[in-house]
Structure 1
């Protein structure tokens, strides 16, 4: 085994579970989001330290959404600024970096028990995996929020922000767009160009995963060779059917979809 992921998209998963009440346990609000981070991240951190000890030659790929948000009025920009800090909250807490208590996010976290995130045991990350979709960039205003933003930040700029913040090798671990074949071809061309642009700026880009090859509701993917500006071959993550593997590697991680036979459980009241 050369690479592994312990928890896919921890920020977005726990945000949808604990802040937006979309997934179990269907809690809402910042305090519930912090509760889940405090409950889950220490276990993942302990697992990362154990894997580092047991598999010293393998790399932990932390995979989460690649986000950037904008605002179209004063109120929306304030919220976008907070959300642009919030996108780093899970990984910063996992690495023991904490957060800026004087920022808008820090002030929002104070009454929600955010100080608990400042003392979590740190885990280890070797590669930063970024999942990039059009809905990863929201625009906010007095009227609310919508995705995608009409003024998106180029992907290369987003990747560079993560690179400058953490100094970790990056990998585009998921990307695609809904629409006609021509739409997906255009998106593919765009993300490959942007990854090569990020690489030209000095970002270590370890690969691209095109997810999926046909439709977003299927698990069929294809390997896409990514070459840098000088023609140097990059590592590419490929998934086929219910399996995922690194091109050139024999290690396979099974990833199967599971549907509950009982359907979605009843929504629980927010705490």
Structure 2
């Protein structure tokens, strides 16, 4: 569309308004001031105080500046890592680092990246691979996926292991929905694993264990996120540095809507501080 098409779009919608747009409409969101300012800008276009082309040009300029500022901060943090051959972080130090990252605000995408990084770091040893991750806000019904992380055998496209992440307690209803997914597939799922950052009740553990016979051989398990990571890092101890690099790469490559720039910067700062103590 041409730059000035915004005016053509707005004018019919508000043609019959006799008063400023901002007094007739209210947008709800946080921070509230951003939404108020957005309405004011739209009203300014409607009142012809500013052209749609000038507004769009200024918005693009500001977004480009913000992008450059964010990338500069990331590059500065990356440049702060030591280039010397220092002793790698221990498994427990990595666990502590990831635990601190998980405790940050808006960290709901991180458990997915933890499991994905684990598989990326040892896929050659396992003979398994994960399918490309879907967008963080895409529903399973939209993507046709069974869970957040899907694992196939190396030379096969059939999913054999599914991971579903929960930032709350896993319930019996969650397991029942998983059973429906398992029943709907033509290929047998070997493992359906819930990863949670909350407590796991005995009732849920017992119910999950009973599903093995009911499904004809599919195991359903509920694991806590840090417990999963601890077992993985100690079992594949020599791959711990590769895991950390894989996790960092996934965090930095995620869209800002999934992992915010401050969350990316926090991880780099935490890792930098942890590795500085090693020197």
Larger radius of gyration: 2
How does the TM-score come out when normalised to structure 1?
A: 0.31
Question: Given the two structures, how large is their TM-score scaled by the length of structure 2?
Answer: 0.30
The structure whose residues are more often helix, as a share, is 2
